[in-house]
Amino acid sequence: RSKVTVTAIPGDGIGPEVMRATQQVLAAADAQVEWEEALAGAEAFRRGIASGAPRETLDSIARTGVALKGPLETPVGHGEKSANVALRKTFEMYGNVRPVRELPGIRTPFSGRGIDFVVVRENVEDVYAGIEHMQTPGVAQCLKIITEVGCERILRLAAAVAEAEGRRKVTVATKANIMKLTEGMLKRVGEQVLAEYPSLSNEHMIVDNCAHQMVIRPEQFDVAVMTNMNGDILSDLAAGLVGGLGVAPSANLGDGVAMFEAVHGSAPQIAGKGIANPTALLLSALMMLRHVGDFATARRIEHALYVTLEEGRDLTGDIAREAEGVPTQQFVDRVIANL
């Protein structure tokens, strides 16, 4: 098997630590990956790069078509835009895929209910277009933009995810009762597009009710697709149901390009201490391995990780069942031992 080259963006805060941990596990499992390390985030902003991602980083992603990314800080107060959003936009990665699955050993108020669904969030339109103005003092406006092209491709991605994973139902969650043209567009296009997938049932749900249902009866969901801002909120909610952002992977998908990232922050308070939990980035790396077709290695690492979580020894402080957590390296060693 030939090696796949992947752009590795360690990012800020705990980013470099969880990236190193993830790379160690992949290497131990003999994943055929070659890393091309690239800069983005705080250091790039410090160098005056307004997008937070230098030319070389963009070139690397364009070349490899696959990136693994840690958290990126966005400086506040000087009109800087999010480096995360800039990367998504630059490569038109229109789909944000966030699996929400109960993990062994991670106890939550919902444990044992078998939560297992995927949030598919539109990733480049909506209020994220970044068009705001304030002609009249004291009155600010932001444009929410939704296109048919954007709706169709995110719906087809949701259907593809459902089919690939043998899922049966796609829930289209919108606020079409208030925004008939914009949110209503996802609903309407959803009815047309999803009708083309006879193996999938589909339903529409008002997005506030969807948030409510995710808390009340999360087992009912299979694949849920949403516009960008609603998806931003509901995917974070959903991650909370199964243990939080520390164990939540994600993928940003475009045509011919994919970026896998942990959705947690850079956690500056614990950065450099060697105690960060690399699980979210490791799970993101497993999505990446499957994306490049290496299902076997992904399954092997997943198994080792699940055993480690289940055993419950050698876990980092945020998920440890005893009072004290172990260093990142001890957790990594345990996962590797369980390979």
Ligand X SMILES: CC(C)[C@H](C(=O)O)[C@@H](O)C(=O)O
> Closest distance between ligand X and the C-beta of residue 168, in Å?
27
> Closest distance between ligand X and the C-beta of residue 84, in Å?
5
> Closest distance between ligand X and the C-beta of residue 114, in Å?
25
Q: Which residues of 240-277 are buried (b: 16+ CB within 10 A; e: fewer)?
A: bbbbbbbbbbbbbbbeebbbbbbbbebbeebbeebbbb
Q: How far apart, in Å, are the Cα atoms of 138 and each of 129, 141, 191, 227, 320? A: 22, 10, 40, 28, 48
Active site residue 222: no
* Contact with ligand X (CB under 6 A) among 122, 125, 183, 232: 232
| Segment 256 to 295, residues that bind ligand X, using CB under 6 A | 263
Q: How far apart, in Å, are the Cα atoms of 291 and each of 4, 66, 146, 299? A: 11, 9, 28, 13
Distance (Å, whole) CA 66 – CA 4:
9
Active site residue 208: yes
112/166 with CB nearer its own copies? 112
| Phi, psi (deg, nearest 5) at residue 78 | -115, 25
Q: Which two tokens stand for residue 27?
A: 């290497």
* Contact with its own copies (CB under 8 A) among 36, 232, 261, 314: 232
* Contact with ligand X (CB under 6 A) among 85, 106, 176, 309: 85
| Segment 162 to 221, residues that bind ligand X, using CB under 6 A | 177-178, 208
Which position among 94, 126, 128, 318 bears the catalytic label? 128
| Segment 41 to 80, residues that bind ligand X, using CB under 6 A | none
* Contact with its own copies (CB under 8 A) among 43, 116, 203, 208: 208
**All residues at 6 or more sequence positions from 195 whose CB lies less than 8 Å from its CB, including other chains:** 202
**All residues at 6 or more sequence positions from 310 whose CB lies less than 8 Å from its CB, including other chains:** 104, 105
Vertex 59 angle, CA 55 and 62, to 5°: 140
Q: Should residue 233 be labelled a site residue for ligand X when binding is judged by CB under 6 A?
A: no
Provide the β-strand partners of residue 119.
98, 224
Q: Should residue 82 be labelled a site residue for ligand X when binding is judged by CB under 6 A?
A: yes
| Segment 62 to 91, residues that bind its own copies, using CB under 8 A | 74, 76, 79, 82, 85
| Residues with a known catalytic role | 128, 175, 208, 232, 236
Q: Binding residues for its own copies, per CB under 8 A?
A: 74, 76, 79, 82, 85, 109-110, 127-128, 130, 132-134, 137-149, 175, 177-185, 207-209, 211-216, 229-230, 232-237, 239-241, 244-245
